[in-house]
Structure 1
């Protein structure tokens, strides 16, 4: 299982939100570059980045900054937030980003997912963000009538191989991941599942490893010090 430390960019800074609420944005590092450097020094090989402004505004906002942070980090990087058309997909993939995450587009423009997967294959990841099991979009501000399992199956049929699943109610809470929903998702589709939201301590990492998820995104736990990134990476390498 891969550990993916996270950097969420809001107004040019590395921040964390509580349950996706933009009003709770709290700066967690002196700069995104410093955060990425610390991840690399801890032994990370992959990193998860999100353009929060982009997610909210439905367009690329911090893309240049994200691409530069990724380039200087020397880590494999996946990026989400504001990617709503093929031009945005191409922007990132032509600038050294390894994978792009289509979130709102999976709900509102599934044809973009189909076209992107046809063109770029495994470099396309779908982000499914849910509250009470129902998918949300546009920076978690828009409700939908789609259950997260149903959307995952649609994405699997479209050829998507990797899904990032976030339980919004757990995100930024350090209350532990939603193991029940993640377990159901792992059993329902053949896609690689990356768990996001709620990871706080090493026990959470062990629990996720038991579910056979592909990866775990860790943000607030690293910044707050409840999770030692190096220890988590070393532990999962032995699993």
Structure 2
């Protein structure tokens, strides 16, 4: 799949995002300057040469792309009339903890200190990575819920596989490992071909399925 086709299919351009949210490009830029909205996931620069009956025309076009879930976050900012980064963080933290609680109710619980005594610091770190658009690239939609699934899923997998170095997985732990992989599968992006070898999906799902003879279907 061509790069531009992939981005146009799975992401919003900045123009499309603004149109969907009914905001101006200036408003989007202001949100980013005040650290309440993520940066673009991808920035594309095209050197264009156009030939026609009237001659040759050359220009450079810049296009920024945002995950589809950015619309949901923008709607949340509009609904709550968010203007300050502290307010935006409160909304992020609330949704993060709510999602983590739902995962715990399903038996997906990590003993890692990041999800216990160090949770406030961990959520703050995830917020900063959310703003710099790390999750806008590695997740399917850039949703806060997917941030939790990725953070928690990786922690569970690392604990069960000795950080993916264990030679085998005991039978009593395989069900738990499958649950963690399914959580990751719900959230991690299916990347373009040139990104796949470096992706978390490859390292945490595809490689481990082959290594430990698993299936997440």
With normalisation by structure 2, the TM-score equals 0.26
Computing the radius of gyration over CA atoms, which structure comes out larger, 1 or 2?
A: 2
**Structure with greater strand percent:** 1
Say which structure is richer in helix: 2
